[in-house]
Amino acid sequence: MLQSFQLGPLALPTYPLLLILGFYLGLFWAARTAQRRGLDPDHVYNAGFYAAVAGIIGGRLGHVAFHLPAYAGDPLSILSPNLAAFQPWVALAAALLLVAWYIRKHRLPLLPLFDALASGGLLTLVVLALADFLNGRHYGSPTVLPWAVFQWDVARHPVQLYELAGTLMVILLLWWRLDRLTPGRGGMAAIAGYAAVRLVVDAFRAQPVTIGDGFRLSQVIALVVLVLVLLAFYQTSPRNPAHRPQA
């Protein structure tokens, strides 16, 4: 595991750094997908840049607003390099608001953009799975299988790597079949694919949150999402009689 590394006097945690890398790679992949959907990839980079700036500034300002007396005593600490001093919900809201403004300003078509962002989001999730693996987060249940990894001194399923590999497969499949999916259905396929991955691999996660008679909550959510997306596929199918033009 590699939770952090020392660079001179700075302690650099791997999780937030990989989060940043995942954001960039997700943006890159979204831009590639957007290009295949006939969109200018620069729009994706621009929207991503605005979202990142708004998220960082909004997240820190949110933290300042929630802890005004502490920052009033030491205003320079607003510039603290510690990425933990953020309000994530304010950051997310600021980023989404700016992206919505950008889409509206440039009148971008929503469905192809949805396909691009969902595909890019999958690559971000791949990097986050790697970050989880390096930090021993969301670790697997004990096993004696030959590919077990030692996390927290116990041989465990490398469940984060299962998730990483499964999500990569979904990305590749989606890239291969993208041209056969109408705009909007690419994004739906991305969500369905990730839900299917979580439905399978979360069986090997340790310490799950359970509901009812010991059912793993994340698996239940994944199955519900998967079925809902497949139903949406069914409803929006061009061959659905409800969508056929009336004679």
Partner 1 sequence: MSQRFLSLLIFIVLTLGSVWIWFNRVPASDSAAAAQPAIPMAGHPAPDFTLPTLDGQSLRLSDLRGQAVVLNFWASWCGPCRAEMPELEQAFRDRAGGGLVVLGVNQGEQPAIAADFVQRFGLTFPIVLDQELQVSRLYRTNSLPTTFFIDRNGVIKDQVIGQMNTALLEERLRTVYP
**H-type alpha helices, the chain:** 14-36, 41-66, 68-73, 88-106, 110-135, 159-177, 185-201, 217-235
Between 242 and 247, whose beta carbon lies closer to partner 1? 242
* CB of 18 vs partner 1, minimal distance in Å: 13
Rg over CA atoms, the chain: 21
Which one-letter amino acid corresponds to residue 239? R
Between 119 and 151, whose beta carbon lies closer to partner 1? 151
* CB of 27 vs partner 1, minimal distance in Å: 25
Which one-letter amino acid corresponds to residue 56? I
* CB of 205 vs partner 1, minimal distance in Å: 10
* CB of 5 vs partner 1, minimal distance in Å: 6
Between 53 and 82, whose beta carbon lies closer to partner 1? 82
Between 47 and 195, whose beta carbon lies closer to partner 1? 195
Contact 179, 29 (CB under 8 A): no
Between 49 and 82, whose beta carbon lies closer to partner 1? 82
Contact 63, 86 (CB under 8 A): yes
H or E element at residue 151: strand 149-151
Between 7 and 105, whose beta carbon lies closer to partner 1? 7
Interface positions with partner 1 (CB under 8 A): 1-6, 9-13, 63-64, 66-67, 70-71, 73-74, 77, 80-85, 136-137, 152, 154, 196, 199-200, 203, 206-208, 210, 213-216, 219-220, 223, 226-227, 230-231, 233-234, 237, 239-240
* CB of 231 vs partner 1, minimal distance in Å: 7
* CB of 243 vs partner 1, minimal distance in Å: 11
What does the DSSP 8-state code read for residue 85?
Answer: S
Tokens encoding 161: 């790597």
Q: How many residues does the chain have?
A: 247
> Distance between CA 193 and CA 169 in Å, rounded?
9
Place of tokens 């999958």: 122
